[in-house]
A and B are shown apart, each in its own frame.
Chain A
Amino acid sequence: MLGTTIILAFRAINRHKLRSFLTTLGIIIGVAAVVTMVTLGNGATAAVREQISSLGANVLQLRPGQGFGRGGGGPRPPDFKEADLTAIQNQLTGVRAVAPIVQSSGTAIYEGNNWSTTVYGTTSAYSEVQQWKVAEGRLFMPEEEEAGKAVCVIGNTVRTNLFQNNEPVGQRMRIKGVSCQVIGVLETRGQGGFGDQDDVVIMPIRFVQRRFTGDRDVSQIMVAVDDAYDTSTVQTSLEELMRERRKIKPGAEDNFNVFDTKQISDTLTGTTTILTQIVGAVAAISLLVGGIGIMNIMLVSVTERTREIGIRLAIGAVAREVLMQFLVEAIVLSCLGGLIGLFLALLASIAIAPLMQVPFLFDVKVNLIAFLFSAAIGVVFGYFPARRAAGLNPIDALRHE
């Protein structure tokens, strides 16, 4: 019997192609909007998560001052000392690796090519904290680190802009007027939320301190927490240790801050998830409007086809069959609309994702839910008109002009 009603539904839809298309337009747009929004939103969330995870998992960033900036007025909070580093390493439990960072910006020159970039002075522990890998060459050795030798590992952006197609490893380049030897190239990490992560030059900290900053201060300390330990516990003891070492009186505010990268990650992905949900909800309303459109046309259709219903009833259709016919018609319409909408969403997502610089992630679950939702709209909004059709009296229906 279902087969029969489906045949009848397709015949009826086929008889009124344009009207059927216009009826489903609401569903098409609704489904396309919802699925595109959610797909792009998920892509954005994934992109954020990817960028954050590239900062390293379970890493605490220790910076002077409060917040990301250095703050407005007041004396500039002091940088960290190398002794702080040793203290963290020796006095805290659960620390896997500690890496100091001294940052400086300057121009790198190679055979007439100039490139403005950021120089990070650090130790080999940095690679353990950040999980950076070298694509070519090597990282610096502890002896080079200790001696502050003029060696550097460059990011891919620096490589492309300075060396073009030349092999950089083993070459000498100048950075801020000082000659240094390229010993390695980092693996490409791509655009991050914090700028181009490949636009870096990494050098031994001693070198940067001696030649560029002129003191032995450390501007940032990265603390990698052992997987077996809870990051927040280590964070608390790190804060206590630093208050003690920086002689902050009880009750006074910290003049340093500790960032848990996981916390940032959770916050940012949480934000994008909420945005996705809000936009998705707005789009879902358009689906609802589409459903009302279907009900509207189905009601008109029932009135217009009263005589047809009368004929069917006279011929011997039972009420349930007439109900099913109109219900199936509504469901077929909304399902067709849903499928077309999914297809459009696929095209739109593929087209827009690169423009938004987010990955295109085909989510089977989202597509399935949207499709089932459009089918459900057919059932809900088709039921009322269908029941009206089924309830018609055959004699009156036949007389209907």
Chain B
Amino acid sequence: MADEPIISLRGVTKVYGEGPTAFQALKGIDLDIAQGDFVAVMGPSGSGKSTTMNILGCLDVPSGGAFLFKGRHVETLDRDQRALLRRRYLGFVFQGFNLLSRTTALENVELPLLYRGEDKKTRYDMGMAALDKVGLKPWWDHTPAELSGGQQQRVAIARAIVTQPDVLLADEPTGNLDSERSVEIMQLLTDLNRNSGITVLMVTHEPDMAAFARTIVHFKDGLVERIEAKAAA
């Protein structure tokens, strides 16, 4: 790829705790992710994939090494600067959906727009457009309790993409869904990746789901074991 990678990790380490009980979760990660890629992150638990995702999601900072996001050194940013970065460029989808209860689908989707300070009309228009993209426009006024798991995850995806982020981070997005719903969600992510140009980073332990990705990064013992690049589909 000729383009500068959107994400670049150089010798990233992460240590939890101090002294004799310290635990080194990441032992020096080097990783480049190109704009528009669809990356699946795999590896057994404790391999450092979740830690890496937290760092990539600007939720956590590395203990050592450099993390460049769009050319900016994230490891030098403070809490609020990272929050603004998330607000501007990132979207999150979680395994447990993490929607606000007793809140309609539209209100959930509008939430990031509220923090961006968009006005009511814009919030409604963009929120509805995002719900339309995930095929849930008719359910806009339903609360999470009134939606199925698959639908809830779609709402979560709509919330993640409503701000038109550069990167979508999905932490086991299909972990709580049956295989049929899982495939639907994966197809949705693939569409968003292809048609909207969103870079997708996904943690999964299911090879079937990882098969939707273009690049698969395997983690083991706090290191990148190997990178599996599939031919451009």
Contacts and interface: CB of A to CB of B under 8 A. Distances in A.
Interface of A: 1, 4, 7-8, 11, 15, 307-308, 310-321, 394-395, 398
A317 B115 contact: yes
B38 interface: no
A398 B79 contact: no
Interface string B151-168: 000000001000000000
A311 B86 CA distance: 12
B86 A7 contact: no
- Per DSSP, are chain B's interface residues mostly helix, strand or loop, or mixed? helix
Contacts of A320: 80
A394 B59 contact: yes
A314 B114 contact: no
Contact of A314 (B80, B86, B102): B86
Nearest to A313: B83
Interface residues of B, number: 27
A118 B107 CA distance: 78
B115 A316 contact: yes
Nearest to B81: A318
Contacts, number: 59
B17 interface: no
Contacts of A317: 83, 87, 115
A126 B86 CA distance: 87
Nearest to B112: A315
B76 interface: no
A7 B114 contact: yes
Contacts of B221: none
Nearest to A16: B102
Nearest to B85: A316
A144 B90 CA distance: 103
Contact of B60 (A4, A316, A321, A395): A395
16 contacts: A4-B117, A7-B114, A8-B114, A11-B107, A312-B111, A314-B59, A314-B86, A315-B86, A315-B111, A315-B159, A316-B115, A317-B115, A318-B84, A320-B80, A394-B59, A395-B54
Given A4-B114, A314-B59, A316-B87, 11 more contacts: A1-B117, A4-B117, A7-B114, A313-B59, A314-B86, A316-B84, A316-B85, A316-B86, A316-B90, A319-B79, A395-B60
A9 B131 CA distance: 24
A398 to B, nearest CB: 7
Nearest to B89: A316
A302 to B, nearest CB: 15
Nearest to A316: B87
Interface string B95-131: 0001110110001000110110100000000000000
Interface in B52-87: 54, 57, 59-60, 79-80, 83-87
Nearest to B111: A315
A398 B83 contact: no
Going nearest first, the 5 A-B pairs with the smallest beta carbon separation are A316-B87, A316-B86, A318-B80, A318-B83, A15-B102
A253 to B, nearest CB: 81
Contacts of B112: 315-316
A398 B98 contact: yes
Nearest to B169: A314
B103 A11 contact: yes
A308 B100 contact: yes
B92 interface: yes
Contacts of A308: 100
B219 interface: no
Given A307-B98, A311-B98, A319 B80 contact: yes
Contact of A315 (B85, B107, B115): B115
A317 B113 CA distance: 11
A101 to B, nearest CB: 77
A318 B111 CA distance: 13
Nearest to A399: B96
B88 interface: yes
A395 B103 contact: no
B115 A321 contact: yes
A314 B117 contact: no
Contacts of A314: 57, 59, 86, 92
B98 A310 contact: yes
Contacts of A395: 54, 59-60
A312 B111 CA distance: 8
A82 B75 CA distance: 103
A313 B87 CA distance: 9
A328 to B, nearest CB: 13
Given A4-B115, A395-B59, A315 B87 contact: yes
B117 A15 contact: no
B94 A398 contact: yes
A15 B88 CA distance: 28
A197 B102 CA distance: 66
A65 to B, nearest CB: 78
A115 to B, nearest CB: 72
Contacts of B57: 314
